[in-house]
Amino acid sequence: MANNRTSSASRDILPEPTLRRLPWYLAYVSLLKESGVEYVSSTQIAKEINVDASMIAKDLSFLNIKGKTRIGYEVASLERELQDFLCFKVEHNAVMIGVGSLGNSLIQDSGLVNYGLDIVAGFDIKPDKVGQQVCGVPIYDISELKERLPELKAEIGIIAVPIDHAQEVSDLLVDAGIKALWNFSPFRITAPEGIVIQNTSIYAHLAVMYNRLGLSKAMNREK
- Give min distance, CB of 60 to its own copies, in A: 14
Identify the three-state secondary structure at position 192.
coil
Instruction: Please give the backbone phi and psi of residue 90, each rounded to the nearest 5 degrees, phi first.
Output: -100, 135
Q: Between residues 12 and 69, which has the closer beta carbon with respect to its own copies?
A: 12
Give the shortest CB-89-to-its own copies separation in angstroms: 11
Distance CA 23, CA 208 (A): 22
| Residue 19 or 71 with smaller CB distance to its own copies | 19
In whole angstroms, how close is the CB of 136 to its own copies at the nearest point?
Answer: 14
Element (H, E) at 194: none
The residue (of 36 and 194) whose beta carbon lies closer to its own copies is 194
Q: Which is nearer to its own copies, 61 or 143 (CB)?
A: 61
> Alpha-carbon torsion 131, 132, 133, 137, what sign?
negative
Query: Smallest distance from the beta carbon of 69 to its own copies, in angstroms?
Result: 26
- Three-state DSSP at 97 gives strand
Pick 66 or 205: Cβ nearer its own copies: 205
Provide φ and ψ at 25, rounded to 5°. Answer: -65, -45
Q: How far is the CB of 167 from its own copies (least distance, A)?
A: 8
Please identify, using beta-carbon distances, which residue of 16 and 151 lies nearer to its own copies. 16
Cβ atoms 65, 78 nearer than 8 A: yes
CB of 151 to its own copies, least distance (A): 20
What is the C-alpha separation between 94 and 86, in angstroms, rounded?
Answer: 17
Q: Are 122 and 107 in contact (CB under 8 A)?
A: yes
Q: How many other C-beta atoms are found inside a 10 Å radius of the C-beta of residue 56? A: 22
Q: Within a 13 Å sphere around the CA of 165, how many CA atoms are in the beta-carbon half? A: 13
